[in-house]
Structure 1
Amino acid sequence: MNRLIAPLALLCLVTSLAQAEIKSISPADAKALIENPDPSQRPHVIDTRGGYKDYFRAHLPNAHHLNFDTLRGTDHGVPVQYLPDDLTQILLTRAGVDKTRPHLLYADGAALPNDEILSATMVAYVLEKFGVNDILILDGGLSAWKAAGYATTQEYPDTKSGNLSTASPLPISLSVDEVLKLKDQPGHVLVDARPINEYLGKDDVWLRKGHIPGAISFHWAKLMAADNTHQFKPFDSVKAELTAAGLTPDKNILVYCGTSREGSLLRFYLKHVAGYPHVRLYEGSWKEYASLKQHPVETKANEPK
């Protein structure tokens, strides 16, 4: 009878994941998918860490390394802007991204100031934007995988080119003009996902200090476990805090941060963990807005709407 338990459990897992979706997944469930006896059902595993030497030292079995920052570059003097769509599609295809497959994303670094989880949510955002609708983020990251006693490897996978030939970007992003048009309209909330000191302009990072006028503050790290910043808190444990901040499912939520990584995590949580229907990301974020000196900034905190 014991011989039937593992196949039966795997069958139940595969059945539960049969419908494509975007969500987080436990290390145990991720391991079961990676080890599926049917290779055609295994996910395409993507290591999104910025440190390629970290990937060389250890990564998940069959993980392809896609440094998140290869998807961005300086444009018209403004750093870390998303690349043009045609270049992004080439890079994703080269990385094996395929609309017909599930994708398992992860990074590492369990404690702040390490924020590599933002790499995973940023890549997930880009994949979703290009029409990939089967995306799993490893809850707890590589740290949780190792803590569970699961094996890592130094071997490179034989990654085949992906297929995004029919992809056209989905309207989940925002331009600065759209943000300025929408942010004060009824039913819309503009939220800054950076740490509170940056929101208030008490930092040495940014060209201009403060935030977009009207924005409220909600630091992305509030959504993550205290002992592992790659592990998402259950929605029930943060619902009251989100509600107090005015972030409720009836709103059209416009998210930004410094470079869009922090915003990508807040958007991922609201959209795919909490299930909020209307959440979009201002890709240019503060790095772009701060350079547009014709637009005002403010440093006072705003009350939730």
Structure 2
Amino acid sequence: MKSILTLLSVALLSSAAQAEIGLITCAEAKTLIENPDASKRPIVLDTRGGYKDYFRGHLPTAHHINFDTLRGTNEAVPVQYLPDDITQALLVRAGVDKNRLHLVYATGDVLPNDEILSTSMVVYVLEKFGVQNIKVVDGGLAEWKKQGFAAIQDYFGNPKGTLPEKGITTITANISDVQAHVGKPGNLLIDARPINEFRGEDDVWLRKGHIPGAISFHWARLMEKDNTHKFKPFAEVKAELEKACITPDKNIIAYCGTSREGSLLQFYLKHVAGYPNVRLYEGAWKEYVWLNNKSLPAETGGDPAGVK
């Protein structure tokens, strides 16, 4: 009887997890990974940039896909997304499959740890290429260990996957989309970077500041302080988002420096908060400051949205 209930639990979890893109607890992820039927286990993707971190320990059956292998310099602009055919080949090689559930994770700790951004970026790429059965393991490897679950060191390679025939274009935005977006009623442009970069008080960027018309909402405001891979419940941040005028009736484009921070805002607003119209400006500030002979307008100063 107990084994029947266990199998039923796995079946129910699998059905629920495949319904949409979103979050899954470590306990739920563990149950799915341990499904007695190997053909029904999820594809587990470890997105960390540090391959030695993967060697030190990872979730059972996790395949390592370094998030930064999906980007490279193009026309002098660093860390641009690769051409579609190359990205598709990398995803197929990682075992991404239109018919399977995908569990995606990295690790978590207090800031400045930002590995969750590697995860949200990979989730964005998967969604862009049409994959819609994706769950972020909430809390990542840090929460996995906190729950008393073991990390392993064995390598796991997925067989080649199969991508959907069509991608999803409604989540992407280019510079023309951004320029047409700014200043129109009901539209919102959100800068997900830390406030010092938004203000132009940094040593990072070729040009300083932010895209005129953007508001500042740092991605870390959505995460738990003791685990930067663990998301705050929407009920906990709803008032904060509303105070910043980030509401579901808005047509939203998120951006950041290289599109990782913006991808987290896109993921949270669309797949956790349920906002219907959220896109990511893929080129990000790294592209914006370079275009048109560095002549596109920039603003400096400003305060975080909804914070006095």
Give the TM-score taking structure 2 as reference length.
0.95
> Aligned AA for 1:285?
A
> Cα distance, 1:48 vs. partner?
0.1
- C-alpha contact (below 8 Å) 2:46/2:66 kept by paired residues: yes
Correspondence 1:13 to 2:13? yes
**2:278 alignment partner in structure 1:** 279
Once the two structures are overlaid, the 10-residue window that deviates more, 7-16 or 56-65, is 7-16
Conserved 8 A contact 1:215-1:302: no
Aligned 1:183-222 pairs, distance under 5 A: 183-222=182-221
C-alpha separation in 2, matches of 1:29 and 1:80: 34
How far apart in 2 are the matches of 1:272 and 1:15? 17
3-state SS of paired residue (1:79): strand
Where does residue 94 of structure 2 map in the other structure? Answer: 95
- State the alpha-carbon separation in 1 of the partners of residues 157 and 233 from structure 2: 36
Amino acid at match of 1:123: V
Work out whether 1:78 is the aligned partner of 2:81. Answer: no
Could you report, residue by residue, the CA deviation over 1:224-252 in whole angstroms, capped at 9, with x for unpaired residues? 00111100000011001101111100000
Residue 134 of structure 1 corresponds to which residue in structure 2? 133
Alignment correspondent of 1:180: 179
The runs of 5 or more residues in structure 1 that have no matched partner are none
- Is contact 2:63-2:155 (8 Å) kept? yes
Call closer, same or farther: CA 1:109–1:31 in 2, change over 3 Å.
same
Give, in whole Å, the separation in 1 of the partners of 2:222 and 2:186.
23
Task: Give the counterpart letter for 2:90 in structure 1.
Answer: L
Task: Tell me the secondary structure at the aligned position of residue 92 of structure 1.
Answer: helix
Using the TM superposition, name which of 152-161 and 175-184 deviates more: 152-161
**Please, which runs of 5 or more residues in structure 2 have no aligned partner?**
none
| Aligned positions of 1:280-295 closer than 5 A | 280-292=279-291, 293-295=294-296
Deviations 1:152-210 (A, max 9, x none): 21111132111126233533111111101112111100000000110000000111010
Percent identical residues: 63
State how far apart, in whole Å, the 2-side matches of 1:7 and 1:78 are.
Answer: 50
CA distance, structure 2, for counterparts of residue 289 and residue 247 of structure 1: 23
1:155-166 paired onto structure 2 within 5 Å? 155-164=154-163, 166=165
Please tell me whether the aligned partners of residues 128 and 170 of structure 1 are also in contact (alpha carbons under 8 angstroms).
no
Tell me how far 1:8 sits from its aligned partner: 4.1
Which residues of 2 match residues 26-65 of structure 1 at below 5 A?
Answer: 26-65=25-64
Contact conserved, 1:214 with 1:302, CA < 8 A, in 2?
no
Q: C-alpha displacement at 1:37, in angstroms?
A: 1.3
> Residues 37 and 92 (structure 1 numbering): CA distance in 2 closer, same or farther, change over 3 Å?
same
- 269-278 vs 36-45, which deviates more? 36-45
Cα 1:11/1:303, change in 2 over 3 Å: closer
Instruction: Name the amino acid aligned to 1:278.
Output: N
Residues 5 and 303 (structure 1), Cα distance of their counterparts in 2 relative to 1, 3 Å cut: closer
- RMSD (Å), alpha carbons: 1.6
Tell me which residue corresponds to 2:262.
263
Question: Match for 1:89: what amino acid?
Answer: Q
Q: Residue deviations 1:30-67, cap 9 Å, x none?
A: 00000111212211000000000010111111111000
- The residue type equivalent to 2:188 in the other structure is V
Q: 1:302 to 1:252 in 2, by over 3 A?
A: farther
Please tell me whether the aligned partners of residues 190 and 254 of structure 2 are also in contact (alpha carbons under 8 angstroms): yes
> Does the 8 Å CA contact 1:183/1:254 hold for their aligned counterparts?
no
Q: In 2, Cα distance between the equivalents of 1:45 and 1:151?
A: 15
TM-score between both structures, scaled by the size of structure 1:
0.96
Higher deviation after alignment, 164-173 or 98-107: 164-173
What amino acid is aligned across from residue 63 of structure 2 in structure 1?
H
Aligned structure 1 segments of 4 or more residues deviating by more than 4 angstroms = 1-5, 302-305
Aligned length: 304
For 2:191, the aligned partner's letter is: D
